[in-house]
Amino acid sequence: MVLASTLKKDKRRSEAFNQERINNQCWEASLKYSNMLIKNIDSKDLYSISASIYGQYMSELKSRSLPMENKNYTQIWTTMLNSIKRGNHSRMAIKLLHQTNCQHSS
């Protein structure tokens, strides 16, 4: 009985560790692409550049078979894109995206 309980606990621990590893990979990829965006923050056509970099980010997640649906690391990108599209504090939205990525990646 104790052995079965220990095995279940070890399995849950292993699954949680694997989920955390996947989550960290996604945040690190998001940071990599937000760094690209920060380098282009003074560009004229910020929305096109942002949409392009977002597409590259999503392609990387897909190619690495990482989860993309209903995840914070993808939702912050769509929020940033919507803010830029509306023209609401575009540079601020990019800086907030980058700050969030820095906090989650450390």
Residue 65: strand, helix, or coil: coil
pLDDT, tens digit, for every residue of 77-102?
999 999 999 987 889 999 999 999 99
Report DSSP state, residue 64.
T
pTM: 0.87
Amino acid letter for position 28: E
What is the C-alpha separation between 16 and 102, in angstroms, rounded? 22
What is the C-alpha separation between 74 and 70, in angstroms, rounded? 7
pLDDT, tens digit, for every residue of 13-58?
999 999 999 999 999 999 999 999 999 999 989 999 999 999 999 9
Q: What is the DSSP string of 25-72?
A: HHHHHHHHHHHHHHHTTT-S-HHHHHHHHHHHHHHHHHHTT---TT-H
